[in-house]
């Protein structure tokens, strides 16, 4: 016996195909959103790293400048 496919799809198969199509479209949009978020995170990390490295370099130069200058001793008077 040879079974023939019906000329018109059943309502269940149409609904299933529609759900699959929507799921594919939502999946593509979700993956794009994830990728955009990942790019934004990497850019922010790069910005923060540059700020941190600049601050560390400034601190190192400040410490190098301070080490050559003797610290002033403060005279304190103790009154009892």
One digit per residue, the tens of pLDDT, for the chain of length 80 reads 556 666 788 999 999 999 999 999 999 999 999 999 999 999 999 999 999 999 999 999 988 877 655 667 777 776 65
Give the long-range contacts of residues 13-18, CB within 8 A, separation 24 or more: none
Residue 34's closest CA among 42, 48, 45? 42
3-state SS class at 79:
coil
DSSP labels for 56-72? HHHHHHHHHHHHTSPPP
Task: Say what the pTM is.
Answer: 0.56
Integer angstrom CA distances of residue 47 from 41, 56, 57, 60, 61: 10, 14, 15, 20, 21
């Amino acid at each position: 016996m040879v079974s023939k496919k019906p000329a018109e799809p059943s309502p269940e198969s149409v609904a299933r195909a529609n759900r699959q199509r929507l799921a594919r479209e939502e999946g593509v949009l979700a993956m794009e959103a994830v990728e955009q978020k990942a790019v934004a995170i990497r850019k922010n990390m790069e910005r923060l790293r540059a700020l941190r490295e600049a601050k560390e370099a400034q601190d190192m130069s400040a410490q190098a400048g301070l080490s050559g200058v003797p610290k002033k001793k403060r005279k304190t008077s103790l009154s009892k």
